[in-house]
Structure 1
Amino acid sequence: MGVLKLAHGVLKVNDLPQSLEFYREVVGLHEIGKQNGIVYLGCGADNNYDLALTEGGSGISHFALQVHQEDDLAYFEKKLTELGVRTNRVTDAEPGEKAALQFQSPSGHQIELVLAEDRPHYLHPVVGRKPSRGIAPLDADHITLNANDVKGLAGFLRDTLEFSVADVFEPVAGVWGAAWTHGSDFHHDIAIVGTPDNTTLHHYAFLVAGIDEMKRACDVLGQYGYKVEAGPGRHSVGGNLYTYFLDPSGNRIELSAEMPRADKSRELISWNDFPTAFSAWGAFPPESFAKGS
C-alpha cells in the first residue's frame, strides 16, 4: 500500500531535437515512443518511461509516482477528494501506464499517481536490459522541486500522500529553506528547495551503481563537451552520492547512488548551514546551484 517510487517526469526543453540527442547519446536513454509532441525515453530496464521531453522552455511539466496496485489509486483518490483537491482519473494516457490519478499541488506542480502496465519484479543491471550507451543510468531515482512555500508543499505531501519529512534546512528557526520527503522507505523521493521565483525544478535524479559509474559519467560528459556542475561527492543530508550537470536547456540532472533507507517514524533532522548539509566531504555548492529551471 502506498507510493513505491518516482515513476517518471516530463521535462520542458528549448530545442527538442538537440535535447533528444543529448538524452539519447550522452545520458544513454532509449526512445520508447512519441505522442502529442512528447518523446518518451527509458533507461532500458522495461517498457515504462523514465523521462519524457516536450518543447516549451525548461522546468518540469509533470511528474508521477508509482503505486503498487489499483486499490492505492482508489485510496488516494478518496483522500485527496476529502481534502478538497480536484482529481482526474485516466487510463492508458501515456506509454506503460495502466491507470493514473492526476492532481495539482498548492505549489502548482502537476502530479500523477500511476499504476504501471508491466514492471519487472526487480531491476537487473544485465538481465532484460537494453544494451547501454552513454552514461546509462539504471532508473529514475528522485525529484527535487522548486517552490515558494517549502513547508506548505511538504505538508501537502504529508497530508495527501502520507509522506514523511526526513530532513529540513532551517536558515532561521521555523523557516524551511528546503525539505527532503519520502513515501517509500528511501530517504527522499521528493525534495523541495525554496525559491522566490517561478521556477519549478531544482533537479531530476537518476540512479547509477556507484562512484565508479559517476567517474565514468564525468568522462562521458567531457567527451561530448559538457561540464560537471558539482561532484562527485556525498551529501550530508541523506548520505547519497551525487554528481550534477545541466542539459542543453538548463535543466539540472543528478546522478545518485547509495541512497539510504530512512525510518519514517523518526523525527526529522534540522540543518542550519547549507554548505554543511550539501557535502559531507567539505565541498561547497557552486553559485549556480541556487538557480532552478
Structure 2
Amino acid sequence: MSFRPITHIRHFDIAVPDFDKQVEFYKNHWGLTVQHDDGNVVYFAAEGSPEQYVTRVRRSADKRLDLVAFGAADRESVDTLAHNLASTGVKLVFEPTDLQTLGGGYGFRFFDLEGRTIEVSTDVEVREHRKIEERESIPVRLSHVVLNSAEPEKMRDWYERNLGFRLSDTLNHPHVGDLFYFMRCSTQHHSMAIARGPHASLQHASFELRGIDEYMRGSGRIIRAGYRKIWGPGRHRAGDNTFTYFVDPNGNTMEMTTELETIEEDTWHPHIYDVQEPETSDQWGTGGDMDEFITKEMFNDSDNKSLYVAPPV
C-alpha cells in the first residue's frame, strides 16, 4: 500500500467496572498524570509525551476496550482514509469532523475488521510536556498496544491493506502457526501487534520508560505496591525491548518497557522467530518461561459484546 496515513499511536481507552481502583493505579502507582477528570471519565497523560492523553478510563458496569486512537499527518490524509474505508464497505462511526474530546483536532471513527472502534485524527492540540530526568521512573509515552484475535492472519492483512501498517516481525510455533504479528506505522518496531487468542480483546498495553534503570525502578515500584507481576523483567527478541507485565485492578495486562528497536524502513526484512527457542521470548533468561498460564492471563475478557458498538464518549 503506497498510501500510509497513520503516523503514530495516540492513546487507548478502556471502560472498567472498578473505576476508582483503576484511576488510583494509574495515578498513584503507574506514574501517569491526570489531565482531566469529569467524575466518570479520567484522561491520563504521560509526562514526556506531547499527546493530550495516552489512556482514558471510563466508568462502566461492563469492562471493554473502548477504542484505539492513531495520529495522521494532516486533514487531507484523514479525509482520504475515511473515503477509502467507506468505499470498501468499512462502517464509519462518524465521518471526519472537529473532535470534541480533550485536545480537539480533526478526525473520525470506524470499526475495524472485527468490530473494534478505531479513531484517526490530526491537528490535536499539543500538550505541554517535559524531558523525563535520570532515575525518574514514570512513563515517557505510550509505546504500543496489542490486540487479541481469533483470526490474526485476516487482521494483519486488513491493517496492512486499509491503514498502511507494515509487518516488522512474526512469532511462530512450528506446529501451531503464526502467533504474533508486530506491526509498524513509523520507524518504531511496532506501535501495534496482533496476537492469536480465543476472542477479540486487549492483550496488553505498553508504556515506554526513559531507560533501563528507570524501567527497573518502575517495575520494582509496582511490585512493592503489591500488584501482581505475571512476567519479567526480561528482554524480547522481536523489537529488542525490555518487558515487565502486570495485571491491573480490572484484569487488563499492562507492560513497562524501554529501548524498543528503531528500524531502517528501506532495508528492514521481517524475521520469523520460533517461540520454542527460549531466547525468542526472553533474551536475558531472567523473566521466566512464557508458559500457558501467562498466555491465558493475556487473553483477557472477551470484548465480543462491545464489538460494532461505539463507546458513548
Shift of 1:262: 2.4
Asked whether 1:244 is paired with 2:249, we answer: no
Shift of 1:57: 4.2
| Bigger mean CA offset, 262-271 vs 96-105 | 262-271
- 1:34-49 alignment, distance < 5 Å: 34=37, 37-45=40-48, 46=50, 48-49=52-53
Partner amino acid, structure 2, of 1:104? F
Separation in structure 2 between the aligned mates of residue 174 and residue 246 of structure 1, nearest angstrom: 27
Q: Which residue of 2 aligns with 1:129?
A: none
Q: CA RMSD in A?
A: 2.5
Q: Which residue of 1 aligns with 2:132?
A: 125
Separation in structure 2 between the aligned mates of residue 246 and residue 240 of structure 1, nearest angstrom: 19
Separation in structure 2 between the aligned mates of residue 49 and residue 232 of structure 1, nearest angstrom: 26
Asked whether 1:101 is paired with 2:108, we answer: yes
Partner amino acid, structure 2, of 1:51? T
Instruction: Tell me if the contact between 1:214 and 1:232 (Cα under 8 Å) persists in the aligned partners.
Output: no
Instruction: Tell me if the contact between 1:93 and 1:99 (Cα under 8 Å) persists in the aligned partners.
Output: no
Shift of 1:116: 4.3
Shift of 1:122: 8.5
Instruction: Tell me if the contact between 1:97 and 1:114 (Cα under 8 Å) persists in the aligned partners.
Output: no
Q: Which residue of 1 aligns with 2:15?
A: 12
Shift of 1:170: 2.6
Q: Which residue of 1 aligns with 2:227?
A: 226
For residues 108-148 of structure 1, the C-alpha deviation after alignment (integer angstroms, 9 at most, x for no partner) is 2211112242226996326xxxxx98x52111111011111
Partner amino acid, structure 2, of 1:103? F
Shift of 1:43: 1.3
Separation in structure 2 between the aligned mates of residue 233 and residue 92 of structure 1, nearest angstrom: 39
Instruction: Tell me if the contact between 1:165 and 1:268 (Cα under 8 Å) persists in the aligned partners.
Output: yes
Separation in structure 1 between the aligned mates of residue 73 and residue 257 of structure 2, nearest angstrom: 23
Residues 31 and 122 (structure 1), Cα distance of their counterparts in 2 relative to 1, 3 Å cut: closer
The secondary structure found in structure 2 opposite 1:62 is strand
Shift of 1:278: 1.4
- 1:78-117 alignment, distance < 5 Å: 78-87=83-92, 88=94, 89-117=96-124
- Among candidates 25, 29, 32, match of residue 29 of structure 1: 32
Q: Which residue of 1 aligns with 2:54?
A: 50
* Unmatched segments (≥5 aa) in structure 2: 301-313
The secondary structure found in structure 2 opposite 1:154 is helix
Separation in structure 2 between the aligned mates of residue 51 and residue 19 of structure 1, nearest angstrom: 11
Separation in structure 2 between the aligned mates of residue 281 and residue 25 of structure 1, nearest angstrom: 30
Instruction: Tell me if the contact between 1:30 and 1:43 (Cα under 8 Å) persists in the aligned partners.
Output: yes
Asked whether 1:191 is paired with 2:193, we answer: yes
Separation in structure 1 between the aligned mates of residue 214 and residue 108 of structure 2, nearest angstrom: 35
Partner amino acid, structure 2, of 1:11? I
The secondary structure found in structure 1 opposite 2:257 is strand
Separation in structure 1 between the aligned mates of residue 259 and residue 118 of structure 2, nearest angstrom: 26
Instruction: Tell me if the contact between 2:242 and 2:257 (Cα under 8 Å) persists in the aligned partners.
Output: yes
Instruction: Tell me if the contact between 2:145 and 2:192 (Cα under 8 Å) persists in the aligned partners.
Output: yes
Partner amino acid, structure 2, of 1:52? R
What's the TM-score once normalised by structure 1's chain length? 0.88
Separation in structure 2 between the aligned mates of residue 92 and residue 29 of structure 1, nearest angstrom: 23
Percent of paired sites with the same residue: 22
Separation in structure 2 between the aligned mates of residue 253 and residue 139 of structure 1, nearest angstrom: 13
The secondary structure found in structure 2 opposite 1:236 is coil
The secondary structure found in structure 2 opposite 1:222 is helix
The secondary structure found in structure 2 opposite 1:259 is coil
Instruction: Tell me if the contact between 1:230 and 1:286 (Cα under 8 Å) persists in the aligned partners.
Output: no
* Unmatched segments (≥5 aa) in structure 1: 127-131
For residues 44-81 of structure 1, the C-alpha deviation after alignment (integer angstroms, 9 at most, x for no partner) is 34460111112344442211011222122122112212
Partner amino acid, structure 2, of 1:251? N
Instruction: Tell me if the contact between 1:229 and 1:246 (Cα under 8 Å) persists in the aligned partners.
Output: yes
| Bigger mean CA offset, 72-81 vs 137-146 | 72-81
Residues 103 and 13 (structure 1), Cα distance of their counterparts in 2 relative to 1, 3 Å cut: same
The secondary structure found in structure 2 opposite 1:220 is helix
Q: Which residue of 2 aligns with 1:77?
A: 82
Instruction: Tell me if the contact between 1:107 and 1:148 (Cα under 8 Å) persists in the aligned partners.
Output: no
Instruction: Tell me if the contact between 1:236 and 1:277 (Cα under 8 Å) persists in the aligned partners.
Output: yes
For residues 176-229 of structure 1, the C-alpha deviation after alignment (integer angstroms, 9 at most, x for no partner) is 221100111111011011112x34111001110122112211221133222322
| Bigger mean CA offset, 33-42 vs 232-241 | 33-42
Asked whether 1:278 is paired with 2:278, we answer: no
Separation in structure 1 between the aligned mates of residue 9 and residue 130 of structure 2, nearest angstrom: 14
Q: Which residue of 1 aligns with 2:170?
A: 168
Shift of 1:151: 0.9
| Bigger mean CA offset, 174-183 vs 33-42 | 33-42
